[in-house]
Amino acid sequence: MKVLNLIQCLNLGGMEKAAYTLASETHGKGINWQIQSVTPAGDGKNLFTSLNIPVEDNSYNGKLGYKSHFSLRKKVKLFAGDIILVTGPTLTGCLSIKGNPQKKILGIHFCHRYGNQNPLRWKLFYKYFGSDYDAIVCHSPYLVEQAEQLAPHLKQKLRLIENSTQIQSVTTEAQKEKARKSLDLPIDCFVIGNAGWLIERKRFDIFLEVCARVCQSNAKVLCLIAGDGPLRQELEKLTDNLGISEKVKFVGWQKDIANFYQAIDLLLFNSNSDAFGRTVMEAMGYGIPVVASVLEGGTDSVLIHQGNGYLIPEHDINEMAEYCLKLMKEQDLYEKFQLASIETIRKRFSNDLYVQKYLELFHEVLN
């Protein structure tokens, strides 16, 4: 079976990691993958080339990529295989597959409503492009519900395949010490971390405000941010304004994200809109307790408030600071969330289950 993954971009975000997980577990084992990025390739390209998977990218010129559309379309037309998996829909990408004879699957990785109060845009998208696909994969129940409301005529094509992560064990003291040394962090502190794109939607400003409150109550707290983006300088200025610049460390994108997770004691995650919250899931796979605030999305699929962590639907600085301090003080509660987090991942969000569901879908559309 030959599969082309037409992916929105090749950076190191959650969407790309999900695509890499699927490819790494199946390439050369009944499936031969090809990767085509709609935009110029980022650091995520190396994830796939390390597996000897052919990777091409494309320039993205003009509004919505219209100036480079025909270049992309020509590359897609050259694919002679069985399935085109469109990961993260773009206008130019969806137009480029029209007329191709292969079976087609669309993967939806982001919420439909954030920044777009009028749902007409998505209704038109599904009306015009929905018939092109043999199946449409949503990566959280929340997305399935949204898609059903916007495009009830496509209900039979919708499939739920929740994202996954590798099941880890609770980090040992030796692993934590090694990870902190690699990131030049002190050993004897409590590290609160978050990772991802430094963009408006991800609300790292809320992360810093909560950390500032926590630091007022505990001098041994250190805050760690892994990732990068257009708001980095603005966020660094905010640390100065909050008086915590010496308590916050920016370490950029991490090729070995295991070091980040093994170095932190608590994940503080804040977002205006997240279809699933992959960073939350990855942290839980390491048994790291999570405190999160998400205004819209499917994070509640994996993070259960007061069951395996804390999740609230508003960015309440005081409430989140209290939860962080509570987990720092109450070891029994901390350990309860550790074990509950790992068990949640083991039961519902393992890589094996994720890959199995995709393989079943591939065979379904081919048959």
Reported as a single tens digit per residue, the pLDDT across 207-247 is 999 999 999 999 899 999 999 999 999 999 999 999 999 99
Task: Tell me: pLDDT of 125 over 70.
Answer: yes
pLDDT single digits (tens) 146-175: 999 999 999 999 999 998 888 888 889 999
Band of residue 116 on the pLDDT scale cut at 50, 70, 90: low
Share of the chain above pLDDT 70, in %: 99
User: Could you give the residue ranges of the DSSP H alpha helices within the chain?
Assistant: 14-26, 45-49, 69-77, 91-96, 120-129, 141-150, 173-182, 204-217, 232-242, 257-263, 278-285, 317-329, 331-348, 351-366
Q: Is the pLDDT of residue 114 over 70?
A: no
Instruction: Output the average pLDDT for the chain.
Output: 93
d(CA 82, CA 85): 10
Over residues 53-99, the pLDDT tens digits come to 999 999 999 998 999 999 999 999 999 999 999 998 899 999 999 99
Parts of the chain belonging to CATH 3.40.50.2000: 2-164+350-366, 173-348
CA triple 226-227-233, angle to 5 deg: 105
Q: How confident is the model at residue 112 (pLDDT cuts 50, 70, 90)?
A: confident
Q: Where are the alpha helices (DSSP H) in 307-350?
A: 317-329, 331-348
Q: Which fold has domain 2-164+350-366?
A: Rossmann fold (3.40.50)
**How confident is the model at residue 1, as a pLDDT?**
96
The pLDDT score that the predictor gives to residue 103 is 97
Taking the domain 173-348, which CATH number applies?
3.40.50.2000
| pTM for this predicted structure | 0.84
